Structure 1
Amino acid sequence: MKKISAFLILLSIAFLAACGEDEGNSDSSNEKETINFGATAGPYSDMVTQAIAPLLEEKGYEVTNKEFTDYVQPNKALANGDLDANLFQHKIYLDSFAEENNLELSEVIVVPTAPMGIYSNTYDDFDSIEDGSTMGVPNDPTNLARALIVLEDEGLVTIKEDVDPLRASLSDIEENPKSLDFVEVEAGQLPRLVDSEDLAAVPGNYALAADMDLLDALALEDMPDDYRNRVVVNTEDTDAAFVEDIKEVIESDEFEEIIDEDFEGFGKPAWMEEE
């Protein structure tokens, strides 16, 4: 009996030790409970706090959101571990910044994005535009190309056939039937030109920052997905459970309902339109 009792005691100790090891393994494999987001102040910070964070919190996460006022620090903060994810940039900027700064960053999913619009306090529609009207456009290559694509879609200019529309400049305009007089300024100044010029091509984030209504535009761009903003994480985290959860909540019906209600005029990425 003593031998049996000793055996049972040893068996119990071994069982408890195994349980302790399992608990330890469970603790060590636990996924993060807090997700630290970063976004530029404005509509994309709002998207994190109003649409993404609440849905992640329903999954049990605590979500923080740090606002930035520039387009450099969010990626640097992500790369050095201060953030787990950010939302503020399109693919072209992401690829360029990551290459120039030797960072391993990857996109998770493209989100609805405020499109560039053609605004006017002078004209109510494109048919009434008079010859020689002034047109404010961005002076940076990326946003200028976007503006020209919108103008071409509306029949106001024609870009030379051998030119990549995503890299078009004013010198690449082949036809300008209204003889528009282009005024180039920094993109952030374009909302002011809606008052001082006949028309202005205003990127969505600057329009919203100036309290403009996207739906007041004469036309909104049919934005290529490369120009839409995306959630970005460190490449080493792409298979992490918290990243899968971020993707899942953005793909949810609840997320789209919030976008439709609180972010009117935002252009949806191809994956949402295909649903």
Structure 2
Amino acid sequence: MSSTGSPNPDTNRTDDIDAAAANGASAVTSKKARARTRLIAAAIVAAIVVIGAVAYTLVRSNRAKGTTVVTVGLVGDSDEEIWKTVQQVLDSENAGITIETKSFQDGICANRAQANGELDLTAFQHYAFLEQEISDNGYELSPIGETYICPLNLYSDKYTDVSQFQAGDQVAIPSNATNTGRALKVLDAAGLIQLADNTKENPTVDDIVANPSGIDIQLVDSPSIVNLLPDYAGGITNANFIVDAGRSVSDAVFQMNPDASDPALKPYVNIIVAQTSKKDDPTYQKVVDAYHSKAVADIITSSYDGTYVPAFSY
């Protein structure tokens, strides 16, 4: 009698044993995977605990040392070297103060941030700009120290001398009220226009009584002017924007002498500003005193190629 097609009991038992072994191996692998996952999770938790403990220790250490962080708002990056020097002076005096700078694209944003309590100090604007901002927005901000005066010059990618400007040439000047007035004074001094009264603090285009050069004055956002010089016959902008763009103040086709002692230029002296309620804070005064040091004056004089002129004594 043929046995073809009949089940083999020995084969069935072998298959059962193999299946059981496979299931057992799978179970062992699964247990190992779960154990490995638990170990990884435990390691992550331990790392977090260690990091937290270190951070807490550092914070507690800083508090024990009396370290105070003062956040200073700047416009652009050109003043970073100055504030590194201020930090060095503070460290040499064991003042327990750490300066943290925060850069903004323009002064309007920086003043808004300070008014909202996001900054301790700002150091980018002159008296006239601050006064205009307070008038426009009602900010309670006060100057607590002077820094430098920043030249506002006429630059051109097209001409090398102010006498080359022709009728119809477009000249870009800052659009904010205070720097519009200051730029018009530069054009007046250069002989391109004539103002009714060039001693007026904030003249406007309505104060132009003569335009012998025939130039076309365009009001443009100040930080943008340096990058738009190829599109204009000339442009007037702050020296710090020129430096930030990798240019030199000496490239100007017309420069005004930035004499910080000239009473007529007092509105354009740059200042350190605090919230009015904190203007007498002794920590802030230490920062101002560190700024008003020979080390900072030397950096301003030697490292900025005429970009700034110190407006303080030491």
- Give 1:118's aligned amino acid: L
Where 2:102 maps in the other structure, the secondary structure is strand
Shift, 1:45, TM fit? 4.7
CA contact (8 A) 2:194 2:208 kept: yes
1:219-258 to 2 correspondence within 5 Å? 219-222=254-257, 224-258=265-299
2:301 maps to which residue? 260
Distance 1:138 1:107, change over 3 A: closer
Where 1:112 maps in the other structure, the secondary structure is strand
- Could you state the TM-score of these two structures normalised by the residue count of structure 1? 0.73
Structure 1: unaligned runs, 5 residues or longer: 1-29
- Structure with the larger RCO, 1 or 2 (CA within 8 Å, 6+ apart): 1
- Give 1:139's aligned amino acid: S
2:98 maps to which residue? 63
1:3 maps to which residue? none
Shift, 1:175, TM fit? 1.7
CA distance in 2, matches of 1:149, 1:228: 16
Moved over 6 A (4+): none
CA distance in 2, matches of 1:225, 1:42: 23
1:1-275 to 2 correspondence within 5 Å? 33-43=67-77, 45-60=79-94, 61-69=96-104, 70-71=106-107, 74-75=110-111, 78=114, 83-98=119-134, 103-161=139-197, 165-222=200-257, 224-268=265-309, 270-272=311-313
- Give 1:111's aligned amino acid: T
- Give 1:191's aligned amino acid: V
Percent of residue pairs bearing the same amino acid type: 23
Structure 2: unaligned runs, 5 residues or longer: 1-63, 259-264
CA distance in 1, matches of 2:171, 2:294: 39
CA distance in 2, matches of 1:260, 1:117: 18
Q: Which moved more, 1:216-225 or 1:168-177?
A: 216-225
Structure showing greater Rg = 2
Distance 1:59 1:184, change over 3 A: same
CA distance in 2, matches of 1:122, 1:84: 42
CA distance in 1, matches of 2:126, 2:276: 16
Count of residue pairs brought into register by the alignment: 243
CA contact (8 A) 2:67 2:97 kept: yes
Q: Which moved more, 1:254-263 or 1:202-211?
A: 202-211
CA contact (8 A) 2:71 2:100 kept: yes
CA contact (8 A) 2:301 2:310 kept: no
CA contact (8 A) 1:111 1:230 kept: yes
Distance 1:107 1:126, change over 3 A: same
CA contact (8 A) 1:139 1:187 kept: yes
For residues 58-105 of structure 1, the C-alpha deviation after alignment (integer angstroms, 9 at most, x for no partner) is 222331314142545644554565543221222233334446655543
CA distance in 1, matches of 2:230, 2:109: 33
Distance 1:145 1:77, change over 3 A: closer
- Could you state the TM-score of these two structures normalised by the residue count of structure 2? 0.65
Where 1:64 maps in the other structure, the secondary structure is strand
Distance 1:190 1:74, change over 3 A: closer
CA contact (8 A) 1:35 1:84 kept: no
